[in-house]
Structure 1
Amino acid sequence: MTDGRGAGTSCGCDAAKVHMLWRVAAVFSFVFATVFLVLPLPADAQTYTFNSVRVEGNQRIETATIVARTGIERGKPVSAGQVNDAYQRLLDSGVFETVELTPKGDTLVISVTEYPTINRISFEGNRRVKDEVLQDAIGSQSRKVFTPEQAEKDANTVAEIYSAQGRVSATVVPRIIRRSDNRVDLVFEISEGTTIEIERVSFVGNRAYSDRRLRQVLATKQANLLRTFLRSDTFIADRIEFDKQVLRDFYLSRGYVDFRVNSANVEFTRERDAFYLVMNVTEGQQFSFGKITTVSEIPGVDPAAYQKALKIKPGVTYSPSLVENSIARMERLGLKQGVDFLRVEPRIKRNNRDLTLDVEFALTKGPRIFVERIDIEGNTTTLDRVIRRQFNSVEGDPFNPREIRQSAERIRALGFFATADVETREGSSPSQVIIDVDVEEQPTGSLSLGGSYSVSDGFGVAIGLQETNFLGRGQTLGLTLSTAQDSEQYVVNFSEPYLLGRKLRFDLGTGLSTQNSSFASYDVKRVFFNPALTFDTGELSSVQFRYSWQDSEMEARDDEVNGAVISSEIAQGKLTTSLFGVKYTYDSRLGGLNPNSGILFSVGVDAAGLGGDNEFIKTSGRVIAQTKVLNEEVTLRATLEAGALSWSGNNFSRTIDRFILGPNTFRGFEPAGIGPRDLSNGQDDAIGGNYYWVTRLEAEFPLGLPEELGLRGGVFYDVGNLWDLSDVNTAGANVVGADGSVRHVVGLSFLWTTGFGPLQFNFSKALKKEDFDKEQSFDLTIQARF
């Protein structure tokens, strides 16, 4: 029994196990079958053959154009990848907003949604920049296809225009207004924002020059009180790059050959309403010229003649501009001697021990390259010859890169063009170059209007017209009309800088004027005709030959009494003066060896008597010397002026012929406040003198005030004399001061740089004067620039 029960139990367990195994196997079989059915079976790449193509949704684009763009040919097999490429080509065309390609049997259906066309473009919110300027800058145009990408690009372009004006917070949002026929109006919504100013400009690493002096060099200025008129304190990124370059030029021209700008960091202030500009610089040591030599590597060319042409000497502070000027001078000498393709190579040897640079000018033969032609574009008004005459080279001449660069600077200096680009490219052969000149013209005319009013004389109008590029010929034509009672003028001025195609300046002034004298009771009427010719005699000098014809008359005012001298001069009536003159000028302010010093010297002689009623010789001269000291922050200036009149006619000279000194010549006195006077008939008439001399000594310096105020101080000392009345009718006159006496004046000046120009306030005190002099302790003038 026991074995039977045990055996039966064992059999039941085995059956259960077998049954379980069958169930597991069934489950695995089901899962395997399911997975097998779901997984794709390997298949060949799908291909299509389209016998027709149907395009849907196109309105402007021709169906044939769209089909051709796909690159799919009817009746030929195409793969799925080729269909996808066709889709991509249509989308990349930039004219469809959506593209869909659907195979339907042997037909390919292309469904497209075209981008709309731009009906019109408008700008909203712009007050600082005109619509025309913005329209010319963007790529989107009316009647062209609108694309969001181009609209975003245009918005960035408009924002950059505002950023260039210092409005870095300006935002531009393009929006569209849908119209009928799949058209849209494109609107740029502009928020101009405010200009971000430069609150402080500072320097790190400068030892030779103070922050104040270096700030004078930069075009970027600190915020000032006159920013309504001056925008140079606005942050403009491109201007910072320009400032880095002018700072390099400033140091290099003063011998700091190792100077570099390490960084120019611009940071927001804590309030984030302004910027700080910090320029980190390394000055290095200052170098001077050492030995200056010239060698020739061209057979038959004597270097001694070129050495004599040099102006720089050992010991002069090194400046790259002086080296460039020397090279240009040598190359011009080579042209005169017939040495073609002359190249002057400056070979510089550095002497760190004594801080000098030895310069050896090597005369070498340059490549044989000729100027094939000069192409000029962009000049719609200016004649080609006005631009061409700025080149010393013409077609067929040897090519000189340095001369071309100088010609480009002369073109820009004309002031006729907003931009002037001069570039070279290879011509019809490697030995020829073509010079391309691309200019953009700008307005060259100006109009000035003024007016005056007095109770006795009423209103007066002053109109000034000037065109500096008359008829595109590079000539200057000016017209001045003034109907003021005390100074009525009708004057025409004309200037031709290249008479007969040569560098010979012709000037002509003609007109008539009536002027009331402010220091005696008479009026002066003049009719004049003044032509002049001026030409250069050297790099720094020029000579002017001039002729003047003048019909002048002194007239008494109604019911007013004059002294005996003035009365006798009025009695002479109308007199004609015909004179020839010559004037020599030497000016080293720009082209001299020292950028901080310069001399201006001029002397002129006028001789009257070849026709007319008056005979005399009148000579005048002026010398001005200026230098900057104490890190160039203090300016010292000395001026000497003198004049002499030698009368030789049968008549007497008049007050209007003699010298009269005003505040611009001798400070501390009223106009005609010093010199001989006629006290007869109860009058106090200034009658001028035949001889004068004046010496002015000045110093200008910073006051320690915030630089943004634009205020500087100065002191001056003037000394001079005006005397002699030879050939003057003094019968019955009570004349004082004819023998002359030296006057001395000291004073204090305040120089204020404003948006209206540099103003100079002079407070003076006469240390020595005559009782009859007319002192003036204060005057305001436009600051004279040396």
Structure 2
Amino acid sequence: MSIGRCAGTSCGGKISSDYILYRVLGGIFLFLATVFTGLATPAMAQTYTFNSVQVEGNQRIETSTIVARTGIARGEKVTAGQLNDAYKRILDSGVFGSVELTPRGSTLLITVEEHPTINKISFEGNKRIKDETLEGVVSSQSRRVFTPEQAEKDASEISKVYSSQGRVAATVVPRIIRRSNNRVDLVFEIAEGTTIEIERVSFVGNRVYSDRRLRRILASKQAGLLRTFIRSDTFIADRVEFDKQLLRDFYLSRGYIDFRVNSANVEFTRERDAFFLVMDVQEGQQFSFGKISTVSEIKGVEAPRYNDVLKIKPGVIYSPSLVENSIARQERLALRDGVDFLRVEPRITRNDRDLTLDVEFALVKGPRVFVERIDIEGNTTTLDRVIRQQFTSVEGDPLNPREIRESAERIRALGFFKESSVETREGTTPDRVIVDVDVEEQPTGSLNLGGSFSAADGFGVAIGLKEENFLGRGQRLGLQISTAQDSKSYVLGFGEPHLLGRNLAFNVDLGLSTRNSSFASYDTSRRFFNPSLAFKLGELSTLQVRYGWNNTEMLTRTNIATGAVITSEIAQGKRSSSSLGLTYSYDSRLGGLNPNSGVLFEVGLDAAGLGGDNEFIKTAAKAIAQTKVLHEEVTLRASFEVGALSWRSNTSSRTIDRFILGSEVIRGFEPAGIGPRDLSGGQDDAIGGNYFAAARFEAEFPLGLPEELGIRGGLFYDVGNLWDLKNVNTAGGNIVGADGSLRHVVGFSVLWTTAFGPLRFNFTKALKKETFDKEQSFDLTIQARF
């Protein structure tokens, strides 16, 4: 049978078996040939060659710009991968919502859909934060291309602004409103929500200090009764990080060098309307200073001389700030000795057995680097010299990195700038640096409205206008007006902190005051002019030199009778005094070796007689010592105060020239409630005394009440005396108490820290007094600003 004679699928009306076998074998052969051919020969990649490029859908973007972005040249072969790269480049330009590349023979068709442009941006639902503030947060701008990605980022930034104010539940949704010509209005719909407070702040792992003590350190506070007026109880995530640093600084300054915050967990309450803040801490052991020594690695620099300027001693609780202060002392000594580039390296050896840290101060030679110049930017109002005055280094001086850091702190402490930074960079040569100071100014003027109440002056209103950076010169200019019920004063003050470019503070106060006191049978009028100069004698001591001109007068009160002494003093009329004075003060309460204790000592002297009507020498001294005990829960304070007046004029002194004690000196009595009195004519006039002495002892402690109430308790014991009427015209008077006697008072205080100011309630009992004294068993003092 010939296969070739049977055409088609049949032969004689039947399918040939030979034909079927032939077809099966042929198919198998063809399949195997195809497989082996594919294995032997690699597949050819598809390529394109375009002689022209067409763009469709573009309205604002030029065709040539889109074609250039593809990177495809006409007539060149292009692979599929290169086409995909071209697609990505066009899409990544950020101006198109969609891109499509379609090969059509020798023509490449690019179809695009442009993003719309933003017609305007608006905010809806924001009441707590102004539009101007939110506009500074978003990056989207009018007449710029709108992209959904950028709108979502802007919404996230707005949410962060609300979170920083404690509104963590705030939601921001960006929406668009279509306009003509492919434009849209971008609207941020804001649901501000409510502030979420911190219901409770607690600690885990603290054994030395109680939760109550640690809570006083944190910037975050628990919600209290006055939560409407207090924003520190609002939860702010960034503030928690700041709280961690405050805790570290607190423990490190008290010798707990291994302290760390393991975690700070924030959890919603069950009602999800407040937070619980729980801080897990590890205190470690408290270390003290061990051996303190100084070694010199610089030829000609004697270590003992530098060791003598150190104040820290073995046994003192370790504090990094004390080490820093010691380094600063030694570097300042080097500058005085003319030793340039001296650096102090503290080398600390840890002794775990006795819990001490040996500190060796090594005097080494630092790199020879000089200050090329100081560049200041950002100060539109403040003069350059005000900022330069905070530097002790000038152009050409050896670089002292520590001094640069201290200068940066002084610039921030001015309070003139919202932001400030001090950085160094390499100058024209490697051995020179340029100090860059970048500041952002803020308003420095203020208007203060205050209300006050005291038993001496009654209710009153105080208005204060103050400018701390007058004309950008760093000078203080202020006007204080006080209109209490029985006391009025008007004071104009001016201050220059760097007189003649030196660390010399000049202040002058000019004013007048009148007083219609409820405890006296006379009124007073006073005009004064008081300039002064103050400068530091040491790290903790200052000296003030002053001149005082005062014109005072005692006036008769309407329908008020007076005794013989007051009557004679009113008859003297106006009297003036011209005096020179000085005051020395030493205060270690903030900058001393022990952060929990310190002393204040102050002594002053005024001598009048350089013109004027009065001639006298008046001295006063005060000493205060305080410390914290029982893990800083209880504050103990002791105060001692004395004063003496030596009258030298031919005329007698007046009551307003002598000392009159109020409740700030001895509690438990009315103002002028103790001391010599004139009972003549049926009157009861307090006439003061030439000498006084007082001692006050008090303790402040928690009462066990929830700390968010801000209420603490106190116990005190006061003892004092006011006596002597030498050089006083007592003719016709019925004088009692001239020889003086000690008064003893005990009392209990309730101290309440409120959002409006501190309130103090004193409940007292005089253990010893005179029959003519004016006792006051209750006293309330309020000081508020709003």
Match of 1:3 in 2: none
The answer as to 2:96 corresponding to 1:67 is no
The answer as to 2:59 corresponding to 1:45 is no
Of stretches 464-473 and 367-376 in structure 1, the one that deviates more from structure 2 is 367-376
Match of 2:142 in 1: 142
Counterparts of 1:525 and 1:33, CA distance in 2: 126
Match of 2:286 in 1: 286
Q: Deviations over 1:520-561 (max 9, x none)?
A: 232222221110000000010000000011122122123332
Name the aligned partner's letter for residue 747 of structure 1: G
Match of 2:363 in 1: 363
Following superposition, the deviation at residue 448 of structure 1 comes to 2.4
Q: Deviations over 1:325-372 (max 9, x none)?
A: 000000000011111110111111122222211111110001112222
Name the aligned partner's letter for residue 436 of structure 1: D
| Pair 557,36 (structure 1): closer, same or farther in 2 beyond 3 Å | farther
Contact preservation (8 Å) 1:200, 1:277: yes
Q: Name the SS of the counterpart of 1:681 in structure 2.
A: helix
| Pair 317,451 (structure 1): closer, same or farther in 2 beyond 3 Å | closer
The answer as to 2:311 corresponding to 1:311 is yes
Contact preservation (8 Å) 2:49, 2:77: yes
Of stretches 680-689 and 463-472 in structure 1, the one that deviates more from structure 2 is 680-689
Contact preservation (8 Å) 1:751, 1:783: no
Name the aligned partner's letter for residue 381 of structure 2: T
| Pair 460,32 (structure 1): closer, same or farther in 2 beyond 3 Å | farther
Following superposition, the deviation at residue 42 of structure 1 comes to 5.5
Q: Deviations over 1:36-89 (max 9, x none)?
A: 99x9995563222334x4444333333333333233344555444333322221
Following superposition, the deviation at residue 135 of structure 1 comes to 1.2
State how 1:640-655 maps to structure 2 within 5 Å.
Answer: 640-655=640-655
Match of 1:757 in 2: 757
Following superposition, the deviation at residue 182 of structure 1 comes to 2.1
Counterparts of 1:204 and 1:74, CA distance in 2: 72
Counterparts of 2:591 and 2:560, CA distance in 1: 54
Tell me the matched-pair count: 763
The answer as to 2:446 corresponding to 1:446 is yes
Of stretches 17-26 and 520-529 in structure 1, the one that deviates more from structure 2 is 17-26
The answer as to 2:639 corresponding to 1:639 is yes
Of stretches 19-28 and 741-750 in structure 1, the one that deviates more from structure 2 is 19-28
Match of 1:607 in 2: 607
Q: Name the SS of the counterpart of 2:652 in structure 1.
A: coil
Name the aligned partner's letter for residue 735 of structure 1: I
Following superposition, the deviation at residue 112 of structure 1 comes to 2.8
Counterparts of 2:33 and 2:654, CA distance in 1: 127
Q: Name the SS of the counterpart of 1:137 in structure 2.
A: coil
Match of 2:767 in 1: 767
Counterparts of 2:13 and 2:57, CA distance in 1: 71
Match of 2:702 in 1: 702
Counterparts of 2:254 and 2:344, CA distance in 1: 23
Name the aligned partner's letter for residue 589 of structure 2: R
Name the aligned partner's letter for residue 481 of structure 1: I
State how 1:111-130 maps to structure 2 within 5 Å.
Answer: 111-130=111-130
Gap runs ≥5 in structure 1: 1-14, 454-458
Match of 2:734 in 1: 734
Match of 1:172 in 2: 172
Match of 1:471 in 2: 471
| Pair 782,388 (structure 1): closer, same or farther in 2 beyond 3 Å | farther
Contact preservation (8 Å) 1:390, 1:411: yes
Counterparts of 2:524 and 2:47, CA distance in 1: 105
Match of 2:403 in 1: 403
When the two structures are superposed, what TM-score results if normalisation uses the length of structure 1? 0.92
State how 1:200-211 maps to structure 2 within 5 Å.
Answer: 200-211=200-211
The answer as to 2:515 corresponding to 1:515 is yes
Counterparts of 2:226 and 2:181, CA distance in 1: 53
Contact preservation (8 Å) 2:486, 2:518: no
State how 1:250-265 maps to structure 2 within 5 Å.
Answer: 250-265=250-265
Name the aligned partner's letter for residue 625 of structure 2: A
Counterparts of 1:357 and 1:143, CA distance in 2: 64
| Pair 28,740 (structure 1): closer, same or farther in 2 beyond 3 Å | farther
State how 1:27-38 maps to structure 2 within 5 Å.
Answer: none
Counterparts of 1:615 and 1:249, CA distance in 2: 53
Following superposition, the deviation at residue 718 of structure 1 comes to 0.5
Q: Deviations over 1:597-630 (max 9, x none)?
A: 0000000000000010000011011100001111
Counterparts of 1:483 and 1:203, CA distance in 2: 47
Counterparts of 2:177 and 2:595, CA distance in 1: 61
Contact preservation (8 Å) 1:48, 1:80: no
Counterparts of 1:460 and 1:312, CA distance in 2: 48
| Pair 76,552 (structure 1): closer, same or farther in 2 beyond 3 Å | same
Match of 2:195 in 1: 195
Q: Name the SS of the counterpart of 2:140 in structure 1.
A: coil
Match of 2:480 in 1: 480
Name the aligned partner's letter for residue 639 of structure 2: T
Following superposition, the deviation at residue 207 of structure 1 comes to 1.8
Match of 2:597 in 1: 597
Match of 2:552 in 1: 552
Counterparts of 1:490 and 1:713, CA distance in 2: 36
Q: Deviations over 1:491-520 (max 9, x none)?
A: 211111111111100011002222212222
Q: Name the SS of the counterpart of 2:216 in structure 1.
A: helix
Gap runs ≥5 in structure 2: 1-11, 454-458
Name the aligned partner's letter for residue 499 of structure 1: L
Counterparts of 1:629 and 1:488, CA distance in 2: 42
Counterparts of 2:347 and 2:30, CA distance in 1: 91
| Pair 277,463 (structure 1): closer, same or farther in 2 beyond 3 Å | closer
Contact preservation (8 Å) 1:50, 1:77: no
State how 1:426-437 maps to structure 2 within 5 Å.
Answer: 426-437=426-437
Q: Name the SS of the counterpart of 2:136 in structure 1.
A: helix
| Pair 673,484 (structure 1): closer, same or farther in 2 beyond 3 Å | closer
Counterparts of 1:668 and 1:758, CA distance in 2: 20
Following superposition, the deviation at residue 25 of structure 1 comes to 6.0
Q: Name the SS of the counterpart of 1:396 in structure 2.
A: coil
Q: Deviations over 1:134-160 (max 9, x none)?
A: 111121122222111111001111111
Counterparts of 1:686 and 1:250, CA distance in 2: 49
Match of 1:99 in 2: 99
Q: Deviations over 1:8-43 (max 9, x none)?
A: xxxxxxx99984564576589799999999x99955
State how 1:141-160 maps to structure 2 within 5 Å.
Answer: 141-160=141-160
When the two structures are superposed, what TM-score results if normalisation uses the length of structure 2? 0.92
Following superposition, the deviation at residue 128 of structure 1 comes to 2.1
Match of 1:494 in 2: 494
Counterparts of 1:591 and 1:307, CA distance in 2: 20
Counterparts of 2:433 and 2:342, CA distance in 1: 17
Following superposition, the deviation at residue 406 of structure 1 comes to 1.4
Q: Deviations over 1:644-676 (max 9, x none)?
A: 111000112111111111112211111111111
Contact preservation (8 Å) 1:482, 1:488: yes
Q: Name the SS of the counterpart of 2:162 in structure 1.
A: helix
Cα RMSD after superposing both structures: 2.7
Q: Deviations over 1:231-264 (max 9, x none)?
A: 2222222222222222111111111122222222
Counterparts of 2:259 and 2:569, CA distance in 1: 66
Q: Name the SS of the counterpart of 2:206 in structure 1.
A: coil
Q: Deviations over 1:297-339 (max 9, x none)?
A: 0001111110110101111111111111000000000011111
Match of 2:275 in 1: 275
Of stretches 197-206 and 184-193 in structure 1, the one that deviates more from structure 2 is 197-206
Following superposition, the deviation at residue 776 of structure 1 comes to 1.1
Name the aligned partner's letter for residue 416 of structure 1: F
Name the aligned partner's letter for residue 553 of structure 2: E
| Pair 764,16 (structure 1): closer, same or farther in 2 beyond 3 Å | farther
The answer as to 2:56 corresponding to 1:89 is no
Counterparts of 1:346 and 1:289, CA distance in 2: 13
Of stretches 419-428 and 247-256 in structure 1, the one that deviates more from structure 2 is 419-428
State how 1:607-626 maps to structure 2 within 5 Å.
Answer: 607-626=607-626
Match of 1:212 in 2: 212
Name the aligned partner's letter for residue 616 of structure 2: F
